[in-house]
Structure 1
């Protein structure tokens, strides 16, 4: 754990470089907290990332039940929201403290917390055009993390992107663009979390695009809980889906969702893709459990493939969906001639990739560098993302005064 120095403020010259950062992430599966630790240092114009390990800690049953009860399409109250903000913040704080002790040998410089998305407000704009993001809410008060670790905490990264006209998600475009730069052909980064998102790397105009393609594990997990009466939280190893057959009529109804036809950049979440949404489209005569899950696997594979098939020569996948062989097999079948591999093959653990991406975003914030690329999310301008909660020593980011230039590449280096 970091040694707090009450009442002192370290000047920018004292800021440690390289920086040891812990990234914290809880995605749209809302099942727990992923923590990833890394060292980040500049070598010329290359940001070198050395992973130090990662861990995943599930939310307690009580906390997860409270969270699920507050998620759309349910309603909630100010009291429930306050309790959740505190409970999620304390859960993140416990995981951060564990990560500092277990992954960083007791020493880290910075924590970056994504928090837990409770609501992503996507609605029509004043002219009636669909898909404008008006706001986003991530809960998990960072003060609990700062108190538990004594370290400064970067949080609230999505909101600034929304304020600048962006979608607020996905924010992994900077990481993906730096990391996959220079690979042969056209590499596309894919995350298969609750929602699937992709980063299409820059073309001749130099502008990457990041967007959500649609549901990945969100509908699969919801359907698994439903058909097993909550005995299973997810379809482990895609076993149920592998025994089923795709139902063409149901797949056609699911593919008729207007979201898929909207232009990128765009974002979505469980505000749209939830159990009630699915049951409305299944209708009064549901298929077998196996056929339902096989059809949902086909839905994710098709919508991801439609987003990248004219662009990608290589797809680098991460997230929980990579552990579903049925989904990965279906995706490869939809993309003949395209290499589909996991991020593990390139040195980034697939279960830690988003937490590492937020660690890199926090590094940029710490040094006053923009964390969003122009046009990647639809933002009008590049912006430094997030807010900083000081640690026990009152330390604030050095910003540009540290003389750190924006990196042009990201290299993943194995631990020594």
Structure 2
């Protein structure tokens, strides 16, 4: 196939933190993605509450789903239009938008003996209509159909951006949940791995909202004011998920406030619980790194990204668990921490349009490489 140069894609991502729509304009130069411009569209409070209520909801009406989906897609369209306006680029120059949608349920192991499923709220047809751009959507279910976890999908993109000739590269996404990508040196015969290590911001945000108001603990200040309850931490880390071998992925279906409350004894202070949740994130990420089985002599670089990369309290806790691993800024590779996931779905849209696989079977557990997503014409 002829090399694809100077082709532009937009990636859209709304993660489990529900803080807004990240839009990234990406230029594909041959096979290398380059970040051109970005825009963050904040999530309105009403839509935030509506989407939060849908996540792992025991029951929901079709009308509620349709209302939330339409509002979500219109917010995506606004993000795209703002990004194009600020760059002066017409929609006709965009090859495709890669739209992840909003995950409201993820059960790769099924539920109560039922089939595996993952559900992202999205309407690529409406998005194509509103933006005048082709849209690639529904990325996850093809991997799921091939026996995979449908997550994480970003590691293939990480490989395109971060793979090193000499170092083992660890890319850590600290969104609502934490997921880890391990990239061996290019010459290695070992295959990349990636998996969810556990909760990152999802429990921290929920506990903060309950006790402090607001959406998140800015810079981890409240967590830093408390003390780690080691016995509570031990109870939380006893959750079997943390010992499960990869491939593995998780979501709000497992880690939510009732799960946390089931481990509390009633005498804990709220600030100490927040500190312990931050410690849980750091400890479970470190445990995930240990599960990779890297040799102590291997040169390793850890690259944090996602919202948690801006949390100095969380990063300090993590550094305490992995003192021999160098933490590096993803911006050194031209990708600021906030834009990795949106960039990944721009890259995945490129893969789909060119008939190229978007998953890594060694990461998701799928039976083989698969072309991900469906194309919706403008």
CA contact (8 A) 2:102 2:121 kept: yes
* Alpha-carbon distance in structure 2 between the residues aligned to 1:207 and 1:133: 28
Q: Tell me the CA shift for residue 71 of structure 1.
A: 1.4
- 1:317-375 C-alpha deviation (Å, 9 max, x unpaired): 10000111000000000001101123123221111110001111111111011111232
Aligned match of 1:292 in 273, 277, 281? Answer: 273
CA contact (8 A) 1:87 1:140 kept: no
* Alpha-carbon distance in structure 1 between the residues aligned to 2:252 and 2:330: 25
CA contact (8 A) 1:73 1:271 kept: no
Aligned match of 1:336 in 318, 323, 336? Answer: 323
Q: Tell me the CA shift for residue 124 of structure 1.
A: 6.1
Unaligned runs of 5+ in 2: none
Report what 1:215 is aligned to: 199
| 1:238 is aligned to 2:220 | yes
CA contact (8 A) 1:161 1:383 kept: yes
* Alpha-carbon distance in structure 2 between the residues aligned to 1:341 and 1:69: 36
Q: Tell me the CA shift for residue 133 of structure 1.
A: 7.6
Going from structure 1 to structure 2, the CA distance change for 1:263 and 1:91 (only over 3 Å counts) comes to same
CA contact (8 A) 1:19 1:110 kept: no
* Alpha-carbon distance in structure 2 between the residues aligned to 1:336 and 1:29: 28
Report what 1:18 is aligned to: 6
CA contact (8 A) 2:152 2:363 kept: no
Structure 1 or 2: larger helix share? 2
* Alpha-carbon distance in structure 1 between the residues aligned to 2:136 and 2:29: 18
| 1:271 is aligned to 2:258 | no
Going from structure 1 to structure 2, the CA distance change for 1:300 and 1:216 (only over 3 Å counts) comes to same
- 1:261-298 C-alpha deviation (Å, 9 max, x unpaired): 1110100001111111111212322x223211111111
Aligned length: 368
Normalised by the length of structure 2, the TM-score is 0.92
Report what 1:346 is aligned to: 333
Q: Tell me the CA shift for residue 380 of structure 1.
A: 0.3
Alpha-carbon RMSD across the aligned residues, in angstroms, is 2.2
Q: Tell me the CA shift for residue 206 of structure 1.
A: 3.7
* Alpha-carbon distance in structure 1 between the residues aligned to 2:115 and 2:153: 14
| 1:141 is aligned to 2:128 | no
* Alpha-carbon distance in structure 2 between the residues aligned to 1:245 and 1:60: 33
Unaligned runs of 5+ in 1: 1-11, 392-416
* Alpha-carbon distance in structure 2 between the residues aligned to 1:104 and 1:39: 15
Q: Tell me the CA shift for residue 378 of structure 1.
A: 0.3
CA contact (8 A) 1:16 1:109 kept: no
Q: Tell me the CA shift for residue 251 of structure 1.
A: 0.5
* Alpha-carbon distance in structure 1 between the residues aligned to 2:84 and 2:125: 16
| Over 4 Å off, 4+ runs | none
Report what 1:3 is aligned to: none
CA contact (8 A) 2:148 2:361 kept: no
